Amino acid sequence: MASPGTAGQGRTAFVLGGGGVLGAAEVGMLQALVEAGIRPDLVVGTSVGAINGALIAADPTAGAVGRLRAVWEDVAERGIFAGSVLARLGTLVRTRTHLHPREPLRGLLEEHLPVRTFGELAVPFQCVASSIERAAEHWFTEGPLVDAVLASCAVPGLLPAVEIDGAHYLDGGLVHSIPVGRAVALGAETIYVLHVGRIDRPLRPPARPWDVGLVAFEIARRHRFAADLAALPPGVTAHVLPSGGVAPFGAADLRYRDFSAVPARIEQAYTAAREYLARSGGGTA
C-alpha cells in the first residue's frame, strides 16, 4: 500500500463519498466538472463513490460521464438488488450474513470498467474499505481493481464481506464516508467534494423508533467529514459541490432498491453543481 504523499503527485483531487442509490448525484456533479474543464490529478472514493471514482479515474473525460449513466441505467434494469422478499430471505437463510449475492455487481463492474488494475488507470485512484480483522480503514492503491471496489461497496447485511489476501472487508463508509483527509494526506491542494446529498439535508431529532439509529449513524458519518474540513491546512481549498437537495434527510433516502429517482437526481445535481462552478469561477471552459 502506498504511503501518503507518494501517490498524490497531482494537485487537484476529486473526493467521492458513499451513500448507495443516492450516489447517482455524483454523476451529475462529474458532468458539471468535466464541462467546466476541471480534470482530477487524483481520485479517492468510498462505497458507491468508489464505483463512480474508478470509472472517472479510468477515463477523466466526457466519455466517462456517458459510461457512468449507462452503469446506473444497468443497475436499475438488471435489478442488481432485485429479488422477491422470499428470495432475499432465502439468501439470508443460506448465507446467514447478507440479502444479496455480489456476482451481479461484479459482472456490472467487469463489463463497464475499461481496465482491470489500478496501474492501468489514467489518473491515480484509491478507495477505502473497512478491515474486519483490524477494525480499521484500509486503502486499496494497487492490484486488481474490481475486488477493491467490491470491498469498498460491501454494505453490511446487504452484500457479503470481501476476502482479499486472507483479510476480510466491509463497506468503506463505516470508517470514512467522505474521505477528504485522504486527499489532503496525498498532497491535494484543490479538492472537489462529490457527495450523495445527505450532508446538504438538515437533521432533525428522532421522532420514531427507527429514526434513532438513522440519526445516530448520520451524526457519526458527518462528524468526520466536518472535522476534515475544519482541519484543512493553509493553501488547501475544498469545494463542496451542492446536490440540489433541500428536503430533511429521512428513512426514505435509504430505500436502496428504488432507482426511479436516479435520472432526476443526476440532473438536479448537475444543475446545482454547474451553477456553483459558474459562481465560483471554477473551470477553464
pLDDT digits (tens, 9 = 90+) for 180-227: 999 999 999 999 999 998 887 788 898 888 788 888 888 988 899 999
In the predicted model, is pLDDT for residue 19 greater than 50?
yes
Q: Is the pLDDT of residue 285 over 70?
A: no
Look at residue 252 in the predicted model and tell me its pLDDT.
Answer: 55
Q: 71 vs 191, which has greater pLDDT?
A: 191
Instruction: Answer for the pair 266, 65: CB distance below 8 angstroms, yes or no.
Output: no
Quick check: 7 pLDDT over 60? no
Structure confidence by residue, pLDDT tens digits, 85-101: 666 666 666 777 767 78
Q: Is the pLDDT of residue 164 over 50?
A: yes
Mean pLDDT of all residues belonging to the chain: 86
Contact of 243 with 276, CB cutoff 8 Å: no
**Higher per-residue pLDDT: 80 or 193:** 193
Residue 215 pLDDT:
86
- Name 230's Cβ contacts closer than 8 Å, sequence gap at least 6: none
Q: The pTM is what?
A: 0.89
Instruction: Looking at the chain, list the stretches that DSSP marks H as alpha helix, in order from N- to C-terminal side.
Output: 24-35, 48-58, 62-78, 85-95, 103-112, 145-152, 180-185, 209-230, 262-280
Q: Give CA–CA dist 32/68, Å, rounded.
A: 14
What does the pLDDT read at residue 262? Answer: 86
Determine what percent of the chain is predicted with pLDDT higher than 90: 58
Q: Is 184 helix (H, G, I), strand (E, B) or coil?
A: helix
Q: 70 vs 89, which has greater pLDDT?
A: 70
Strands (E) in 132-208, as ranges, are 136-140, 162-164, 167-170, 190-194
Residue 150: pLDDT above 90? yes
**pLDDT at position 2, please?**
37
Q: 118 or 6, which is more confident? A: 118
